[in-house]
Chain A
Amino acid sequence: MLSYLLFTLTMGGIYALLALSLNLIWGGAGMVNLGLAGFFAVGAYASAIATGAGTPVAVGLVAALGAGVVAGLIVTFATLKLRDDYLAIVTLGFAEVVRLIALNERWLTNGSDGMSGLKAPFKAELGTQGFNLFYLALVSLVVLAAWALLRRLDLSPFGRSLKAIREDQELAAFAGKRVLRFKFQAFALSAAIAGLAGALYGHYQTYISPDHFQPLITIYIFLAVSAGGVGRPTGAVIGAYAVVVFLEATRFVADIAPGLQPVQIAALREMLVGIALILVFYVRPQGILPERIPPAPRTI
């Protein structure tokens, strides 16, 4: 029971990082990333490959951040000057391409067999239970750091500029904001956070394969951010933990509806996720914690 709780909280933390990543660009700049699962995978594989080559886990995490930035810049390059739905379509394609590469470049990713035996830091010294506790603390600390950083960013001139761009791109440009540069920076930072989440996930599971990075994860995170409140880092974090609890709760569908085949139960659970997302849009579009618009700072 305790290890189940530790596992759920650790996964909640990893989802919270993904939610912070999405919230930064969706809540911040009004851009949509439908390829979150792809950036998550890029980070996981980058760290797995780096640590597999013998570097310590810390270097692997940095590699994941870097890989996220590079992937983010590649994806945004063609779409930034266009309407936002183009970015949605391109990011969706990006996630698919990442999955294909992970499946087919066996020399790099070991294909559909996945990469196993990823370094789990201090597992030998701490034992399984101790490692789970340590890792929960590590992930929670990273979430806390990312949350503090993004909250500061949210209230800084950078965050205000992003929201100005979200509300009215032309007006922001007219006010002298360099719209494209802001969007590039926001997307790259967001992709880096998603990559970091992937690396943390990989070293926790010690095994990754293309199956771990299904598009469904992206939908979970959209549910988390919408439920928590788009535009507020605190909302994103709360939403992520809420979604993990919700996902675990849907396991009990099997108990309520006996006589169903496993595939039908799986289908019902995924349906519930979709229904929950639409219901959140209906019932509480501003989320649990609605966005606060801080008053403009006095300049004189």
Chain B
Amino acid sequence: MSILAQAILNGVMTGTLIAVPAIGFTAIFAVLRYPSFGVAAYVTIGGFAGWFANTMWGAGVLPALVIAFLVAGAVGVAGEEGALRRLRPAGALTVAIATIALNLILENVVRFLFGNDLRGYDLPLKPDLRFLDLRVGPQQIENVVLAGLVMLAVFAFLRFSRFGKAMRAVADNVDLARLKGIDPQVVAITTLFLGAGLSGVGGVLLAVDTSIDPLTGARILLSVFAAAVLGGLGSIPGAVVGAFAVGIAEELSLLVVPATYRSAIGFAAILVMLTFRPRGIFGERAV
């Protein structure tokens, strides 16, 4: 029983780590309508930007998150808006393939600058807390709280700010939004900044949880995609629910299959979901 409870608890922690980049991926998908594989690089870049701030300037987790958001967001806008904008008329698949190339370039910029080694943040080690039979790291609790705050801020932004409303309008119907005087270009740039920035924030949370290397983002990409597909591509609340579902499924899977297959769980989740409920939990257009 306590094994099960521990697995679910761990799943919630894993889910929060997936959720933040999944929101970023979904936001870009909802507004620009292509799956951006660049998300993997933004996660890594955010993680490294935070690591640099942490180890060079002694920044704590909170300032590291802000720096990661700004750096990854700026890189995302520069990359996808600067290099790929002209390709968008060619269709979603072409841009998606171009984002794979962009991802490869960015990932290797990180490798060029920092090498392949694992890097850890310079943070004080704290012993695990125990409740009944359950173990939790204080850093994990901090992560869950921080990720929760970030998610709340995103929801508030989308719900109440002018920009958030404009984004949702463009996601809903570009032509109608343009008629209403919304500039889709500005919305696209804002969305890319938000999407890439959130991925970067996710990178710091991941890095603080364990460590970071140039392939960190690529390794969680499948889980992020799984979360987005599970929730229904394009739905932000869906991405959050999907992330928790994937996180819990991954941790529960450890009880029955070898740990090495953990990242295959996302793939299995995608297949099952697409077979039985192609629109995901919070269904959006699938066809």
Contact = CB atoms under 8 A, between A and B. Distances in A.
Interface of A: 30, 32, 34, 77-79, 81-86, 88-90, 92-94, 96-97, 100, 103-104, 216, 219, 222, 226, 261, 263-264, 266-268, 270-271, 273-275, 277-278, 281-282, 285
A282 B35 CA distance: 19
B278 A96 contact: no
A226 B98 CA distance: 11
Nearest to B79: A278
Contacts, number: 128
Main secondary structure of the interface of A (DSSP, over half): helix
Contacts of B109: 267, 271
Interface stretch (B3-11, B110-118, B126-134): B110-118
B261 A104 contact: yes
Given A84-B93, A90-B271, A96 B263 contact: yes
B173 interface: no
B112 A267 contact: yes
A82 B225 contact: no
Contacts of A78: 270-271, 274-275
Interface of B: 34-35, 83-84, 86-87, 90, 92-94, 96-98, 100-105, 107-109, 111-112, 115-116, 221-222, 225-226, 229, 233, 258, 260-261, 263-264, 266-267, 270-271, 274-275, 278, 285-287
Contact of A89 (B35, B116, B264, B285): B35
B271 A281 contact: no
A32 B97 contact: yes
Main secondary structure of the interface of B (DSSP, over half): helix
A58 B266 CA distance: 37
Given A270-B107, A270-B111, A277-B101, 4 more contacts: A88-B96, A271-B109, A274-B104, A277-B100
A82 B278 contact: yes
A89 B270 contact: yes
Nearest to B264: A97
B264 A278 contact: no
A281 B112 contact: no
B86 A282 contact: yes
A297 to B, nearest CB: 28
Given A77-B275, A89-B35, A281-B90, A82 B97 contact: no
23 contacts: A78-B271, A82-B278, A82-B286, A83-B287, A89-B229, A92-B225, A93-B222, A93-B267, A96-B222, A97-B267, A100-B261, A104-B258, A219-B104, A226-B97, A264-B115, A268-B108, A274-B108, A277-B98, A277-B100, A281-B87, A282-B86, A282-B87, A285-B94
A219 B99 CA distance: 11
Contacts of B222: 92-93, 96
Given A30-B93, A278-B98, A281-B87, A96 B267 contact: yes
Given A219-B104, A282-B86, A81 B278 contact: yes
A100 B278 CA distance: 26
B111 A267 contact: yes
B228 to A, nearest CB: 9
Contacts of A81: 278, 287
Contacts of A86: 229, 233, 274, 278, 286
Given A92-B222, A263-B116, A82 B105 contact: no
Given A82-B286, A100-B260, A93 B266 contact: yes
A271 B108 contact: yes
Contacts of B105: 271, 274-275, 278
B41 to A, nearest CB: 10
Residue among A79, A85, A264, A268 facing the most chain B CB atoms (10 A cut-off): A85
Contact of B100 (A79, A94, A104, A222): A222
B262 to A, nearest CB: 9
Contacts of B112: 264, 267-268, 271
B93 A82 contact: no
A266 B112 CA distance: 8
Nearest to A266: B111
Nearest to A226: B97
